[in-house]
C-alpha cells in the first residue's frame, strides 16, 4: 500500500482577495461604459449626472488602488522585495488615466451643444482604453500576484492582511463595493459572500449593511435582490 510522505512544506494557501472585488469592479466599469455610450448629448442634466458618476466611480477605484498599495503591496514587499513592481507601475498608470478621465468629464459639462457629441466621444474612447488597461492589470493581479502571495503567506496570514484592508474602508465606500461584488457574483458566490460577512459582523450591523446595499429592507434568502440594484 502506498504511503503518503510529508515533505514538511506547508500546504499552499488558497485564500484569494482579488477575485470577488475585481468581478465587482469589472461590473462597475461595464455599467458606466454603457452609460457613457448611450448618454443623450442634448440633455444637459444627463451629461452633468454622467460626469458626477464618473467622478464617483474613479474615486472608488482610486480608493481600491490605495488599499491594495497600503495593505497587499506593503505586506508582499516585506517578504518578497520587488514582487509588486509591475502592479505598482500599473497603478501609477491608472493615476494618469484618472487625471485624463476627470479632465474629459469636466469638458463634457462645459461643452456647448455643438461640442457635446465630440466631448462624449473623446470620453468614451479614453474610458474604453482605461478599461482595457485595467482588465489586463486586474488579470495580472489575480493570476500572477495572487499566486505569489499564496506561495509566501499562509491562509491565516492572507485573511489577516485582507481583514486589515477591509477595516480601512469607510462605510459608504464599503456599501458601494459590496453592491458591486454581490451584483457581479453567481448565486453560489452571493451565498458565500453573505455568509462570510455575516460571520464577521454583529447581527444588527450585518442587517443594516445589507439593507444599505439593496437600498431597502433585505429579506434573508432573497439573493435576486442584488440583481435589482
Residues near Fe ion (CB under 5 A) are 68
Find, among 109, 97, 115, the residue nearest to 49 by Cα. 109
Half-sphere exposure in the Cβ direction for 115 (13 Å, CA): 9
Rg (CA), the chain: 20
Residue closer to Fe ion, measured from CB, 180 or 210: 180
Closest approach of Fe ion to the CB of residue 28, in Å? 14
Residue, CB closest to Fe ion:
68
Question: Are 157 and 107 contacting, i.e. CB atoms less than 8 angstroms apart?
Answer: no
DSSP classification of residue 17? S
Residue closer to Fe ion, measured from CB, 100 or 142: 142
Closest approach of Fe ion to the CB of residue 71, in Å? 12
Calpha distance 191→174 (Å, rounded): 18
Closest approach of Fe ion to the CB of residue 108, in Å? 26
Query: What grid cell was written down for 216?
Result: 431597502
Closest approach of Fe ion to the CB of residue 23, in Å? 14
Residue closer to Fe ion, measured from CB, 75 or 119: 75
Calpha distance 184→179 (Å, rounded): 9
Calpha distance 150→166 (Å, rounded): 19
Give CA angle at 109 (54, 177), nearest 5°. 10
DSSP classification of residue 153? S
Closest approach of Fe ion to the CB of residue 142, in Å? 10
Residue closer to Fe ion, measured from CB, 17 or 218: 17
Residue closer to Fe ion, measured from CB, 68 or 162: 68
Amino acid at each position: 500500500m502506498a504511503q503518503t510522505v510529508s515533505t514538511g512544506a506547508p500546504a499552499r494557501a488558497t485564500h484569494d482577495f482579488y477575485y470577488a472585488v475585481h468581478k465587482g469592479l469589472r461590473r462597475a466599469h461595464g455599467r458606466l461604459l454603457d452609460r457613457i455610450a448611450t448618454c443623450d448629448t442634448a440633455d444637459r442634466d444627463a451629461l452633468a449626472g454622467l460626469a458626477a458618476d464618473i467622478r464617483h466611480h474613479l474615486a472608488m477605484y482610486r480608493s481600491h488602488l490605495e488599499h491594495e498599495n497600503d495593505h497587499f503591496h506593503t505586506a508582499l514587499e516585506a517578504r518578497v522585495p520587488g514582487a509588486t513592481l509591475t502592479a505598482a507601475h500599473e497603478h501609477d498608470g491608472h493615476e494618469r488615466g484618472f487625471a485624463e478621465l476627470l479632465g474629459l468629464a469636466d469638458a463634457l459639462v462645459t461643452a456647448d451643444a455643438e461640442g457635446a457629441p465630440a466631448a462624449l466621444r473623446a470620453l468614451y474612447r479614453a474610458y474604453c482604453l482605461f478599461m482595457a488597461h485595467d482588465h489586463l492589470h486586474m488579470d495580472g493581479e489575480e493570476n500572477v500576484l495572487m499566486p505569489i502571495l499564496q506561495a509566501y503567506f499562509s491562509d491565516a496570514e492572507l485573511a489577516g492582511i485582507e481583514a486589515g484592508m477591509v477595516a480601512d474602508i469607510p462605510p459608504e465606500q464599503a456599501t458601494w463595493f459590496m453592491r458591486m461584488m454581490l451584483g457581479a457574483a453567481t448565486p453560489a458566490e452571493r451565498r458565500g459572500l453573505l455568509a462570510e460577512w455575516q460571520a464577521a459582523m454583529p447581527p444588527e450591523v450585518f442587517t443594516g449593511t445589507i439593507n444599505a446595499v439593496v437600498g431597502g429592507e433585505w429579506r434573508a434568502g432573497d439573493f435576486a435582490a442584488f440583481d435589482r440594484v
